[in-house]
Amino acid sequence: MERTWYWRLALVVAVALLSIWQLVPSWFYFRLPPAERNGPAYEESVPGWSPNAKKHLNLGLDLQGGILLAMGVDVDRAVKAKVARRADEIGDFLKDKGVPVATSAPSADGTRVEVRSSDPKRAEQVVLDSYSAELSAPSGAPDGAVWFAFRPKVIQDFQTKAVEQAEKTIRNRVDKWGVSEPDIKRKANNQIQIQLPGFKDPEKAKELLGRTAQLEFKITDDDSAVLDPVRSELPPCPSGPEGVQLPLPQTGCWMVEGVELPTGIQRQVTFLAASRRQDIEAAIEKDLRPKISRDQDIGIGEVTVGQGPIKEHFYRTYLLRAKTELTGDYISDARASVDNSKGVGEPVVVFTMSPEGGRLMEKLTTENLHRRMATVLDSKVETAPYIQGKISTNGQITLGSGRNYQEKFEEANEIALVLKAGALPAPVTIFEERTVGATLGPELIRSGTVAALVGLAAVMVFMLLYYRGSGLIANVALVENGLLVLAIMSLLGSTLTLPGIAGFVLTLGMAVDANVLINERIREELRAGKTVRQAVDQGYDKVFWTIVDSHVTALVAGVVLMQYGSGPVRGFAVTLIIGLLASMFTSIVVTRVIVDWFTRKDTARLSV
Amino acid sequence: MQFKSFDIVPHGTHIDFVGKRRIAVTLSLLVNLAVILWSLPQIHGLNFGVDFAGGTEMQVKFDNAVDPGEIRRSLEGLGFKDASVQTYGPDSDHAYLIRVGRIALLTQEDVTRIVAAVKAKFPVQGQPHFNPEVGDKIDFEFQTLPAPAELQAAIESAGVRVREIREEAGLTAGSKALAVLTQGIQDRVEKDLFAKFASAKPQVLRVEYVGPAVGRELRNQGFKAILYAMALIVVYVGLRFDFRFSPGVIIALIHDAIITLGYFAFTGREFNLASVAVILTVVGYSVNDTVVVYDRIRENQGKLKGKRLADIVNISINEVLGRTFLTSFATALSLVGLLIFGVGTIFDFAMAMAIGIISGTYSTWFIAAPMTIWLEERTAARKSAPTGAKAA
């Protein structure tokens, strides 16, 4: 045999063995009952010698069930909110410039800013001088007032950004969350559809994704004593030598924390705590709400206690000033970082405000120096650090003490994510949430597998009957093709959908096409009186480009389909593309190696 | 040891494909025209799935037989005038696809009624916000927030069930709004079916909904995707062979795409994203046979110099007749399992694919290659025509 033949044989054998090896994790994955596949049982069951356990075939939402959420980004409302905020800013801006302003508020339909002034002409002039790129002054305003509207392009940009940002935030969250193969896509009507295959806890999904709402900064009202009477109404929280003893009573209980007021005086601030969210909410309604004034608000925060892997949570309240001092959409960036200024590395959160936000932040931090500022996301207090100095465009949040570096860094990351999410200006709401076909999946997998095997068997029987020996060789190549496709799919972590199974079967059918072409050509050459050796060489050589051409055209269709489709249809396109690439290798290289072996002597015969 | 092999198409077969092209083209034109006309919404139209038509689709399974007409009547009773109910899979499954044309249960009249009821009881600020493309949700802004329970009572007095009332950040910094989520289509249909067919234990297996605007966009994109794929393939074949072959390829591709569409048009089966996938795959696959024939034509043009193109084409098609048939046959064979065991979308997928593959082989033999000759002859006629005109 020629030297190259041994190399080609080595390649064919290596590809086959590597494919099988790559499929080991998938084998162990599908061996487990569906409920345990995404749990720790899977990673434990995979033997040490196998490839990365994370690289296994996944089942699409249509096959394993899961959750589909449709989240709507309400851009109209986001625009109204932008108008309302801008109204306040324009009011302040005009006052700064010495223009008399009676009111500056959104118009009745919420799409314009209406400024009432004794000198509307000048108000219009002053505002447009600075903001004409963004705002126009439409006519039709009532006497003594001027209207400002965002230019259509500004609104459009803003809407697109709102949805994009919501999508990005959701993507970040889901990625961080470690769901296998989430499918997140933006739909035309400002909706974002999230598919979480195999995810079975809609409440958790809702809670985590629902948090992509608005971020606000509020100042804690630590001077107020309105909550102190609670100490006589509710029991104190049970505490042991290691701090709070959980679980806390269902009615809620009180605790105090030492807070240093700007005046330097220490005050014992009362707050409420409970183990469960619904308990604390009930306690707030019953015991706290009646006591607070209109310009006060209660925020709920979550406290994590315990070291290492065993962590417990409880909820606590914060007494806040009701006014939102600043919203998250002024934040341009936030990230976790390490502060080395104190000699030891300390995880912190670093954030940057927009120029406009920087001005507001500076005003806020100057007025409230040494008070605590609560970062409230979706009405939940995420963190409430002291304002230690004046902040304008660049700020830093230092974390509380008592945890190790790793935990602090994780928390810093979490807060950074929250702050970034805060830049999301549009309210995101879950409109639909559903669990797809828990009973449907196994049935579809069964019928899909049977259908695939029947199709495969039909093709193989046909090849064997029609081409005899050469058919058998093509069938060996076909099996390697199937293994290779599945191996590549698991390596890429692709999702197997029902149309994907159909695509898999179809590519197997297409893969033998190449062998049909080759074998027909060999027959033709044999008929023309060539020797077997010559016929084989000519058969493969002359058909090579035909096979490439036919694969390329099918690949073109596959790539276009992948760009267009989503979900199951995309799964089909991916399978088709991988199948076509694999079949070029198996139907040409693999079969050739075997055929060459049997026809190595000039006197050889070939049943074709 | 050697078995005697047989050829499915005997060697030396000579069928005059080029000579039969007029009959074939006429027949194909008629069939294609019929498909196009039948697919037009004014005449019959395609049965667009929820992906393309927009609306809500639910797959419901019962324990024992239920009259689909009964289901539809009960849906009409709920106010879904455009509801359709289809059997899904074998009759023994008692599974049905229920489709209604919208995604929000609330109609504009409902919203007006609710807003009036709420305004009568609470100081509502501005205009409440509702978007039927998004879902059953109305946003209210208040000067002072009412208790959610009271708001719920006020809304339910207007005859609409409330699913959830949620506090959201208001328009201005620091203000609050209440978002009212009312009962959705799924909930409504489920409750109604449970009440009516309790003994048959209805079970909702799958729900999908797509906003009407999204559906329109998906439809346009799908159409564009098919056109792009065709254009790219034609360019590739043109570059690899000769742009003289391009018209034949284009016509064959359009032919196969339309024939595949015909399956959906004439059977009334659901036309959805998967159907576009089928057409795209057919377009990519059916050109394979054409490539094989063109390859042979090119090879023979070198070998058989002096012969008329029509003869070369005929000889070429006949020479590769066996393999163009067998490749399609093998691929179609792989679909057998899906045709036997597939239900719903997957069965349609396999069936349409099989039809597309057959059409691809037919169009290679009778349309693509002979078309090349026809165009060649026309060009030749044009070239000679101007001189004739001058002489006259």
What is the ipTM metric for this complex?
Answer: 0.82
Same domain, A132 and A278: no
Average model confidence (pLDDT) across chain B: 85
- Name the CATH superfamily housing domain B21-45+211-381: Multidrug efflux transporter AcrB transmembrane domain (1.20.1640.10)
User: Is A188 in contact with B203 (Cβ distance < 8 A)?
Assistant: no
Measured between beta carbons, which residues in chain A are less than 8 angstroms from residue B274?
Answer: 499, 568-569, 572
Q: Which of A459, A546, A573 lies closest to B295 in CB terms?
A: A546
Is residue A191 domain-resident? no
Per-residue pLDDT, B231: 94
Residues on chain B touching A580 (C-beta within 8 angstroms) = none
pLDDT at site A450: 92
**In sequence order, what are the residues at sequence separation of 6 or more whose Cβ sits closer than 8 angstroms to the Cβ of residue A169?**
A212, A420, A421, A424
CA distance B378 to chain A (A): 28
Tell me if A323 and B174 make a contact (CB, 8 A cut-off): yes
Partner-chain contact A84 B171, CB within 8 Å: yes
- Could you tell me if A499 lies within 8 Å of chain B, comparing CB atoms? yes
Q: Which conformational region is residue A508 in: left (phi greater than 0), alpha (psi within -120 to 50 degrees), or beta?
A: alpha
| Residues A255 and A396 both lie in one domain | yes
Give pairs for B116-121: CB < 8 Å, separation 24+: B116/B158, B117/B154, B117/B155, B117/B157, B117/B158, B118/B151, B118/B154, B118/B155, B120/B154, B121/B146, B121/B150, B121/B154
The reported pLDDT for the residue numbered B166 is 73
Residues A391 and A484 in one domain: no
CB contact under 8 A, A576 and B273: no
- The yes-or-no verdict on residue A214 having pLDDT over 70 is no
* Contact of A567 with A61, CB cutoff 8 Å: yes
Q: Do A393 and A318 have their domain in common?
A: yes
Query: In this structure, is residue A549 part of a structural domain?
Result: yes
- Same domain for A356 and A472, yes or no, is no
User: Of the candidates A76, A108, A440, which has its C-beta nearest B206's C-beta?
Assistant: A440
Nearest to A560 among B229, B299, B341 (CB): B229
Rounded to an integer, what distance in angstroms lies between the CA atom of residue B199 and that of residue A489?
45
Are residues A429 and B136, on separate chains, in Cβ contact within 8 Å? no
Domain co-membership, A50 together with A109: no
Q: Give the DSSP H/E element, type plus range, for residue B118.
A: helix B108-121
Q: Which residue do the tokens 């009477």 mark? A: A229
Q: For A71-125, write each residue's pLDDT tens digit.
A: 777 777 677 777 876 787 788 788 888 888 888 888 877 788 889 988 888 888 8
Between chains, do A556 and B284 touch, taking CB under 8 Å as contact? yes
- Computed over its alpha carbons, how large is the radius of gyration of chain B? 30
Fold for the domain defined by B55-102+186-209: Alpha-Beta Plaits (3.30.70)
Task: Inform me whether the C-beta atom of residue A201 falls under 8 Å from chain B C-beta atoms.
Answer: no
Q: What one-character DSSP code corresponds to residue B37?
A: H
Which pLDDT value is given to residue B175? 56
Q: Which of B5, B139, B326 sits opposite A608 (nearest CB)?
A: B5
With beta carbons less than 8 A apart as the criterion, state whether A407 and A258 touch.
no
pLDDT digits (tens, 9 = 90+) for A498-552: 888 888 998 999 899 999 999 999 999 998 888 888 899 999 998 999 899 989 9
* Superfamily of B108-183 according to CATH: RRM (RNA recognition motif) domain (3.30.70.330)
Q: Which residue of B has its CA nearest to A569?
A: B274
Q: Which of A69, A73, A214, A561 to mutate to test the interface with B (most CBs of B within 10 A)?
A: A561
Chain B residues with CB inside 8 Å of A436's CB? 206-207
Residue of B nearest to A504 (CA): B334
3 state DSSP class of A60: coil
Lowest mean pLDDT among B257-261, B345-349, B377-381: B377-381
Q: Which residues on chain A are in Cβ contact (under 8 Å) with B334?
A: 455-456, 458-459, 505-506, 508-509
Same domain, A539 and A405: no
Give how many domains chain A has, as a whole number: 3
Q: What average pLDDT score do residues A591-606 get?
A: 85
pTM: 0.71
- What range defines the domain where residue A140 resides? 75-156
Q: What is the pLDDT at residue A292? A: 87
Instruction: Say if the Cβ atoms of A322 and B8 lie within 8 Å.
Output: no
Q: Say if the Cβ atoms of B168 and A427 lie within 8 Å.
A: yes
Contact A103, A115 (CB under 8 A): yes
Q: Report the alpha-carbon angle B214-B220-B225, nearest 5.
A: 120
pLDDT at A131 over 60: yes
A432 at interface of B, judged by CB pairs closer than 8 A? yes
Q: Is B108-183 the same fold as B21-45+211-381?
A: no
Reported confidence tier of residue A458, pLDDT bands at 50, 70, 90: very high
CA-CA-CA-CA torsion sign (A225, A227, A233, A238) = negative
A10 and A56 assigned to the same domain: yes
Chain A hits for B292, CB-CB cut-off 8 Å, are 517, 546, 550
Cβ separation A499–B341 shorter than 8 A: no
Interchain contact A189–B (C-beta under 8 A):
yes
Distance of CA A321 to the CA centre of its chain: 34
Q: Which of B328, B89, B378 is nearest to A447 (CA)?
A: B89
Residue A304 touches partner B, C-beta closer than 8 Å: no
Give the minimum alpha-carbon distance from A241 to chain B in angstroms, rounded to a whole number. Answer: 39
Yes or no, beta carbons of A510 and B285 under 8 Å apart: yes
For residue B242, the model assigns a pLDDT of 80
- Residue pairs between chains A and B whose CB atoms are closer than 8 Å: 282
Q: What percent of chain A has pLDDT over 70?
A: 86
Closest CA to A506 of A604, A430, A580: A580
A408 three-state secondary structure: helix
**What is the predicted pLDDT for the residue at A212?**
44
Domain ranges of chain B: 21-45+211-381, 55-102+186-209, 108-183
- Confidence at residue B391, expressed as pLDDT on a 0 to 100 scale: 41
Q: Do A555 and B284 touch (CB under 8 A)?
A: yes
pLDDT of res. A463: 94
Nearest to B134 among A431, A453, A523 (CB): A431
Verify that A330 and A418 share a domain, yes or no.
Answer: yes
CB neighbour list of residue A16: distance below 8 Å, 6 or more residues apart: A480, A483, A484
pLDDT of B180 reads 84
Report the residue of B50, B299, B338 to disrupt the A interface, i.e. the one with the largest count of A CBs within 10 Å: B338
Q: Which backbone phi and psi does A196 adopt, to 5 degrees?
A: -120, 90
Three-state DSSP class for residue B11:
coil
- d(CA B255, CA A26) in angstroms, rounded, equals 42
Report the CATH number that the domain containing residue A106 is assigned in CATH: 3.30.1360
Banded model confidence at residue A318, pLDDT cuts 50, 70, 90:
very high
- pLDDT tens-digit series, residues B274-289: 899 999 999 999 999 9
Average pLDDT, chain A: 82
Among A110, A431, A553, beta carbon nearest to B135: A431
Q: Two tokens at A5?
A: 């033949």
Distance from CA of A256 to the nearest CA of B (A): 27
Q: Is the pLDDT of residue B121 over 80?
A: yes
Provide the pLDDT confidence category of residue A440 given band limits of 50, 70 and 90: low
- What's the gap in Å between the CA of B126 and the closest CA on chain A? 6
Q: Does A512 touch chain B (CB under 8 A)?
A: yes
Q: pLDDT band at A207, cuts 50/70/90?
A: low
Out of B8, B206, B285, the one facing A436 most closely (by C-beta) is B206
Q: CA-to-CA distance for A251 and A248, rounded, in angstroms? A: 8
pLDDT at A421: 56
Task: Give bridge partners of residue B156 from the DSSP assignment.
Answer: none
Closest Cα in chain B to A546: B292
pLDDT tens, position by position, B241-282: 888 888 889 999 999 999 999 999 999 998 988 899 999 999
Of A33-47, A411-425, B194-208, where does mean pLDDT reach its minimum?
A411-425
Q: Which pLDDT band holds residue A567 (cuts at 50, 70, 90)?
A: low
Same domain, yes or no, for A59 and A83? no
Write out pLDDT tens, residues A159-180.
776 777 677 667 656 654 556 5
Looking at chain A, which residue has its C-alpha nearest residue B320? Answer: A520
| Domain termination site, one of A381, A397, A423 | A423
**Residue A128: both structure tokens together:** 């447009």
8 Å CB contact of A80 and B225: no
Are A381 and A448 in a shared domain? no
Quickly count: other Cβ atoms within 10 Å of residue A215's Cβ: 27
Cβ–Cβ below 8 Å for B331 and A506: yes
Taking an 8 Å cut-off on Cβ atoms, the answer to whether B284 and A440 are in contact is no
For residue A377, the chain B residues in CB contact (below 8 A) are none
Indicate the pairing of strand A239-240 with strand B270-271.
unpaired
Per-residue pLDDT band at B388 (split at 50, 70, 90) = very low
Q: What is the predicted pLDDT for the residue at A426?
A: 56
Give the pLDDT confidence score for residue A66 in this predicted structure.
77
Q: Are residues A103 and A56 in the same domain?
A: no
Pairing of β A253-260 and β A266-274: antiparallel
Residue of A nearest to B140 (CA): A77
